[in-house]
Structure 1
Amino acid sequence: MPPKTQLDRLAIGLMLVFCTIWGVQQVAVKIASAGISPVWQAGLRSIGAALLVWAWSALRGVRLFERDGTLLPGLLAGLLFAGEFALLFLGLQFTTASRGVIFLYTAPFVVALGAVWLLPHEHMRRAQWTGMGLAFAGVLALFGENLLHPAGRAWIGDLMVFAAAVLWAGTTLTVKASALARVSAEKMLLYQLAVSALALPLLSLLLGEPGVFAPTPAVWASLAFQTVAVASASYLGWFWLIRHYPATRLSSFSFLTPVMGVLAGGLLLGETLTPAVFAALALVGTGIWVANRPGRR
């Protein structure tokens, strides 16, 4: 499949599914955190997902170990991936989840800025910047009130989550601008899962986390969902999309994820859904539409 310059119905449909899965992941992480330490949880997820992606690749006959110039960028992407989740989970120990969402979803802007130098063929038009601004305004409408009331050392967590956003964007740009863009999505993802499967458990041990301290069926089910649906299936689909479609256009869809997370919290955990949720959804949807309209010729 040759690279495309616009998102078609397949890409849009997949991104809607993935953003919904990533939104539900926010609920799954909350449930699993009641019985598994944060960084250890991320490490277990990477270990399980790496085994699943390797098994999937073996069944499909995907070549994973041939020399194709991807070793160095693959290791870099893996370190960025591991660092992103370590900083995210650690940062949320200092700041609130709602503040963290705002800083994390600066990542699409970092992708757009990096694309100016690394992906000149994905030059952002004014309408795309406007659309991303509208989508981010939707995130601010949902969570922005919490920015005005920092507590204690929240700024430390804010900085760590923002750093996680930069690493998330760095992973996307590394994949798109290197030899990784020419290999299978399985190999692309396996680099990241394998490196994080080694790095995150070691970091957890260094931090003195207790690991699995209160295992329950709900905790294991939440970890299984993260491993199978999120880190294996959805990430595999995401990197397939990154290989074939413009990264800047795909990144604009990520603003849907926090809104889907709040909706999932309302449906699955009984959390209150205020009018701001639906206003945010409208703003994000409008922003995505504006950002992905075909340009005038």
Structure 2
Amino acid sequence: MEQKSHMDAFGAAALIAFALHLAFNQIVIKFTNGGFGPVFAAGLRSAGAVIVLLIWMRLRGVSFRVPRNAVPAGVFTGCLFGLEFMCLFSALDFTTVSRASVIFYSMPVWLAVASHFLNPSDRLSGLRSVGLLMAMAGVALALLDRSDTTASLWGDILALTSAFCWAGIVLCVKITPLSKVPPAQQLLFQLIISAPLLLLAAVFFGDFIRDLRPIHIAGLLFQIIAIASLGFLAWFWLMSIYPASSVASFSFLSPVFAVILGWLLLDETVSLKVWIALSLVAGGIYLINRRPRFA
């Protein structure tokens, strides 16, 4: 499909579906944690996704070679990827999907702050600054809300750390030689580095196996195939077709869908403060990613 200069109906529908897909994955992670230790599950997911991605690259004739000058950045993003999902899987073990999602999907906020100082072409101004303040206020409100007895501050902090790591990966891809590397190789770096790190770290983070049942294995397979390998490739594919700012502007939908799904499927209690925090974060992300029409 040829590159487009604007978002069309197909792109909008695909991005809405993908945002819902990512939100549902938060439910799947929390459920899968009932059968696997969180860090062990994250390691198995990366290891399984490496196999799926290698098969896909082989069938499509995608090269495995990466420029030597991009290797250090690739290793660094792989380490960040491992830390990101160690924190996210653990966060969903401690706190609710709704709280973790509001905080985790604040990633564009921290990316915007870092880019402002490290990337001269991506300065904050006007509505983007307003959006930044809105989203930061929403995250602060979510962190300060202790009305839900099933949530924990430790889980919230882990979700926030995960968001920081995600922002670090995106920024590293933007400002290092890794920006010249095709998406499949970028993803391969992240998976192949994170898999052994997570599996080794799992030794220090509780049980490998909990009350394991076939449905937990199905949940892990869903994450391996539909998210960590082919799902991320679909995201990169959409990024290659539509303007990056248009694609990014749909990211505000993921925390909205995640909170709604946590409420509907897991019967989570979502306090008024969390709904307000969600509105602030989602609105802030939209403004941060919005670009002036005639810029």
Q: Structure 2-normalised TM-score?
A: 0.80
SS at match of 1:214: coil
**Partner SS for 1:69:** helix
Could you tell me how far 1:206 is from its partner in structure 2? 2.5
Relative distance call for 1:68 and 1:237 in structure 2 (3 A) is farther
* TM-aligned CA deviation for residue 237 of structure 1: 2.9
> Structure 1 stretch 212-221 or stretch 278-287: which is displaced more?
278-287
- Asked whether 1:34 is paired with 2:34, we answer yes
- Alpha-carbon distance in structure 1 between the residues aligned to 2:6 and 2:84: 27
- Matched positions, count: 293
Equivalent in the alignment of 2:219:
222
Instruction: Evaluate the alpha carbon distance shift between residue 223 and residue 80 of structure 1 in structure 2; reply closer, same or farther with a 3 A threshold.
Output: same
| Aligned mates of 2:222, 2:95 — CA distance in 1 | 25
Unaligned runs of 5+ residues in structure 2 are none
Q: 1:277 to 1:263 in 2, by over 3 A?
A: farther
Partner of 1:264: 261
Residue in 2 aligned with 1:165? Answer: 163
Q: Secondary structure at the match of 1:188?
A: helix
In structure 2, the CA distance between the partners of 1:213 and 1:150, relative to structure 1 (3 Å rule), is: closer
Fraction of identical pairs, as percent = 34
Shift of 1:161: 2.7
CA contact (8 A) 1:46 1:193 kept: yes
Alpha-carbon distance in 2 for matches of 1:33, 1:78: 23
Compared CA separation, residues 194 and 167, structure 1 to 2 (3 A): same
Q: Measure the CA separation in 1 of the matches of 2:52 and 2:30.
A: 23
Shift of 1:243: 6.7
The residue number in structure 2 matching 1:117 is 117
Provide the rounded CA distance (Å) in 2 between the counterparts of 1:67 and 1:145: 42
Q: CA deviation at 1:162?
A: 2.0
Pairing 1:53-202 to 2, within 5 Å after superposition? 53-131=53-131, 144=142, 147-149=145-147, 154-202=152-200
User: Compared with structure 1, are the counterparts of its residues 272 and 263 closer, same or farther at alpha carbon in structure 2 (3 Å cutoff)?
Assistant: same
For residues 33 and 274 of structure 1, do their structure 2 counterparts lie closer, same or farther at Cα, with a shift above 3 Å needed?
Answer: same
Deviation of 1:13 (Å): 4.3
In the aligned structure 2, how far is the partner of 1:145 from the partner of 1:158?
Answer: 7
Judged with a 3 Å threshold, the aligned counterparts in structure 2 of structure 1 residues 136 and 75 are, in CA distance, closer, same or farther, namely: same
**RMSD of aligned residue pairs (Cα, Å):** 3.8
Deviation at 1:113, TM superposition (A): 1.2
How far apart are 1:144 and its partner, in Å?
3.7
- After superposition, what is the alpha-carbon deviation per residue over 1:40-64, rounded to whole angstroms, capped at 9, x for unaligned? 1111111111111111111111111
Residues 124, 7 of structure 1: alpha-carbon distance in 2 compared, 3 angstrom cutoff? farther
Which residues in structure 2 correspond to 1:266-285 (within 5 Å)?
266-269=263-266
**Structure 1: 5+ residue runs without aligned partners?**
none
Cα separation, 1, equivalents of 2:106 and 2:16:
19
Q: Who is 1:8 aligned against?
A: 7
- In structure 1, distance between residues paired with 2:217 and 2:155: 27
SS at 2:209 equivalent: coil
More divergent stretch after superposition (245-254 vs 277-286): 277-286
TM-score by length of 1: 0.80
- Contact 1:119 1:177 survives alignment (8 Å): yes
